[in-house]
């Protein structure tokens, strides 16, 4: 998995490339925890995310809690497989997910 972060003022864009699973989720968690101070808008670009597991979802839920206190979190560009995981787990009711 590769993570590309772009900070523009108080907006942080995070592009996740590859697979977000048990092995890679802690890496994303660490990258984000150090980057969220002062961020009002967090945008995930999942256009190149191939797969997300329950470990990846836990990271997103954890970050969502932080962003609920300081701003908003948006997920963009998820493919059909990733969207299916979001729908089956009820994540679409909890997170802001913009469909393509």
Dihedral pair phi/psi, residue 47, rounded to 5°: -65, -20
Q: Is the pLDDT assigned to residue 100 strictly greater than 90? A: no
Q: Tens digits of per-residue pLDDT, 24-34?
A: 999 999 989 88
In this structure, which topology does domain 2-98 adopt according to CATH? Answer: Transcription Regulator spoIIAA (3.30.750)
Give the other-Cβ count within 10 Å of 36's Cβ: 16
* Strand 2-8 relative to strand 11-20, pairing: antiparallel
pLDDT recorded at residue 34 = 82
Mean pLDDT of the chain: 95
Domain ranges of the chain: 2-98
Residue among 67, 53, 60 at smallest CA distance from 23: 53
Q: Tens digits of per-residue pLDDT, 33-68?
A: 889 999 999 999 999 999 999 999 999 999 999 999
Task: Give pTM, 2 decimals.
Answer: 0.94
């Amino acid at each position: 998995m590769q993570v590309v972060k772009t900070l523009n003022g108080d907006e942080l864009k995070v592009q996740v490339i590859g697979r977000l699973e048990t092995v890679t989720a802690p890496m994303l968690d660490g990258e984000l925890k150090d980057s969220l101070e002062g961020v009002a808008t967090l945008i995930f670009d999942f256009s190149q995310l191939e797969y997300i597991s329950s470990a990846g979802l836990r990271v997103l839920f954890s970050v969502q809690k932080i962003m609920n206190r300081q701003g908003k979190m948006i997920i963009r560009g998820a493919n059909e497989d990733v969207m299916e995981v979001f729908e089956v787990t009820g994540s679409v009711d909890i997170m802001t997910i913009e469909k393509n």
